[in-house]
């Protein structure tokens, strides 16, 4: 009979969420505790190798800053500012011109009877409103299913 941890129990221990039974077994079984320790060291080596590789790649691909590219001459800022001002001023000039007011027709509120009639029509639908145009594609001789369960 195998009294060692199963793969699932071992995974729980490796992930840092061991149960009380697994902790007791690891305290008593030198084979399982050595295997868990070896697995932890392997993960640590892998993590360090990945970090080192990423650091090396970042160091190789780091942008080289030249003294000329490091500074942005003041005259370039002046040109950029002037371009922004030239593009923005016409926008504000047009904003002051007000368009003519267009009168909107007054919409009267529907009566309570009209509201209830709309609600009743909506509730009596057998299909959602967005699907109603699709219903014209279904042949008329097929039965329309009733909503609300198995037929």
Q: What string of H, E and C letters represents the secondary structure of the chain?
A: CCCCCCHHHHHHHHCCCCCHHHHHHHHHCHHHHHHHHHHHHHHHHHHHHHHHHHHHHHHHCCCCCCHHHHCCCHHHHHHHHHHHHHHHHHHHHHHCCCCCCCCCCCCCCCCHHHHHHHHHHHHCCCCCHHHHHHHHHCCCCCCCCCCCCCC
Could you read off the pLDDT of 23-40 as tens digits, one per residue?
888 888 888 888 888 888
pLDDT-derived band of residue 56, with 50, 70 and 90 as boundaries?
Answer: confident
Could you read off the pLDDT of 92-138 as tens digits, one per residue?
666 556 666 767 777 788 889 999 998 888 888 777 777 777 777 77
Averaged confidence pLDDT in the chain:
77
Looking at residue 151, its pLDDT comes to: 47
Contact by Cβ (8 Å): 25, 32: yes
Residue 62 predicted with pLDDT over 90: no
Residue 149 predicted with pLDDT over 70: no
Average pLDDT over residues 36-64: 85
Residue 10 has a CB neighbour count (10 Å cut-off) of: 18
- Ordered by start, the domain boundaries in the chain are 7-60
pLDDT-derived band of residue 63, with 50, 70 and 90 as boundaries?
Answer: low
Name the more confident of 103 and 149: 103
């Amino acid at each position: 009979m195998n009294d060692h941890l199963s793969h699932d129990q071992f995974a729980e221990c490796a992930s840092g969420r061991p149960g009380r039974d697994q902790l007791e077994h690891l305290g008593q079984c030198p084979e399982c505790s050595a295997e868990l320790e070896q697995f932890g060291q392997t993960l640590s080596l892998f993590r360090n190798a990945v970090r080192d590789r990423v650091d090396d790649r970042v160091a190789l691909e780091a942008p080289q800053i030249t003294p000329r590219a490091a500074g942005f001459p003041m005259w370039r800022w002046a040109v950029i500012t002037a371009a922004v001002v030239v593009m923005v001023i016409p926008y504000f000039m047009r904003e002051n011109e007000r368009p003519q007011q267009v009168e909107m027709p007054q919409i009267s509120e529907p009566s309570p009877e009209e509201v209830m009639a709309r609600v009743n029509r909506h509730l009596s639908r057998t299909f959602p409103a967005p699907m109603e145009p699709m219903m014209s594609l279904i042949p008329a001789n097929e039965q329309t299913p009733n909503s609300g369960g198995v037929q």
